[in-house]
Amino acid sequence: MSQYGMVIDLNKCVGCHACSVACRAEWDVPVGVDSAKRKQRRNWVERLGPDTTPHGLASTYYVGLCNHCDSPVCVESCPADKVDVTFSDPKTGQKKTLSVAATWKDPFNGTVQIDKERCLGCGACADSCPYTARYLFEENGTPKADKCTLCVERTAIGLEPACVQTCLARARVYGDLNDKKSEIARYVGKGSIRLESTKIKIGPNVRYYGKKKDISLLTQSSAPEKMAEVNYRRIFMTRILRPSIKQLSGSSLIGLLGAIATKNDDNA
């Protein structure tokens, strides 16, 4: 099976933000924050340092996006009803049917995707992501979850992801991590790392390559140290309210769920 992902070569990245701008333009990503004050972004570039590391003074960038993890906690937390979906491998034609909620990990390409039609807009998946790689936005007045999809719509027709195509320094490498002949697999062989800590190891498939001091700064500043706190009360109430959700406007639903969660927290 394939596992598509990305390597960020920090030796090449110049922090120009062309990738994040291209992503916003390609997918109409809103500018601002969602109802939980998460930044609305599919990918981002954050400047790190200069700061000291065990390997010397470092200055680099945190180039982030959905990691399409081996064990995505966002998939586990989705409260939408599961339905049977049949997936196809474009390379072999093999098919596999899985019972999935509104977000899932594709069994053939390893990417994590969202079904906007079935998304309840409860924010449980965004709450659970330790990398804060998901956010909510309103689509036709209804809240929906969104994130990087590794541009599956583009790659399905032979194009590169928008961020990869636009990267002026060619610092982004996209491909099948399980294909030993691919450029991205060669980066793995050269020692690219996953952005993990001793407490968070869910198998991110975005990797980073660079000087020891830059990798050290990236890890000490940006690797998640604890699992995100999922608001299980909101998930529970979303399940109860599911039959009525489609009748509520986006702001009404978000306000209602938020009020319920806050009230329950106050009474805890």
* pLDDT per position as a tens digit, 247-264: 554 455 555 555 554 444
Measure Cα distances from 165 to 74, 173, 257 in Å: 28, 10, 39
Across the range 204-224, mean pLDDT stands at 98
Structure confidence at residue 156 (pLDDT):
94
**pLDDT 10s digits, 138-147:** 988 889 999 9
Number of H helices and E strands in the chain, helices first, is: 9, 12
- 216-235 as b/e: b if 16+ CB within 10 A: bbbbeeebbeeebebbebbb
Q: Is the pLDDT of residue 92 over 80?
A: yes
Structure confidence at residue 267 (pLDDT):
43
Dihedral of CA 31/35/37/40: which sign? negative
Domain at 186, CATH number: 3.30.70.20
- What is the chain's mean pLDDT, rounded? 90
Structure confidence at residue 240 (pLDDT):
62
35: tokens are 């109802």
What percentage of the chain reaches a pLDDT higher than 90?
79
Structure confidence at residue 127 (pLDDT):
93
What is the C-alpha separation between 106 and 103, in angstroms, rounded? 10
**Any idea which of 99-103, 206-210, 258-262 has the lowest mean pLDDT?**
258-262
Predicted TM-score of the model (pTM): 0.88
Q: Is the pLDDT of residue 233 over 90?
A: no
- Domain limits for position 120: 4-267
At position 151, the amino acid (one-letter code) is: C
1: tokens are 């099976």
Q: Is the pLDDT of residue 234 over 70?
A: no
Say how many domains are in the chain.
Answer: 1
193: tokens are 């790392």
Q: Which residue has the higher pLDDT, 114 or 264?
A: 114
**143 closest CA partner among 124, 163, 169, 167:** 124
**Helix 250-267 × helix 232-245 angle, to 10°:** 140
**pLDDT 10s digits, 123-177:** 999 999 999 999 999 988 889 999 999 999 999 999 999 999 999 999 999 999 9
Structure confidence at residue 140 (pLDDT):
85
Structure confidence at residue 35 (pLDDT):
86
Q: How confident is the model at residue 210 (pLDDT cuts 50, 70, 90)?
A: very high
**Any idea which of 48-52, 95-99, 253-257 has the lowest mean pLDDT?**
253-257
Check if the beta carbon of residue 5 is closer than 8 Å to that of residue 182. Answer: no
Q: Which residues, 6+ apart, have CB-to-CB distance to 4 below 8 Å?
A: 68, 109, 110, 111, 150, 155, 174, 175, 176, 177, 205
Check if the beta carbon of residue 147 is closer than 8 Å to that of residue 135. Answer: yes
Structure confidence at residue 107 (pLDDT):
97
- 156-189 as b/e: b if 16+ CB within 10 A: eeeeebbbbbbbeeebbbbbbbeeeebebbebbe
Q: How confident is the model at residue 244 (pLDDT cuts 50, 70, 90)?
A: low
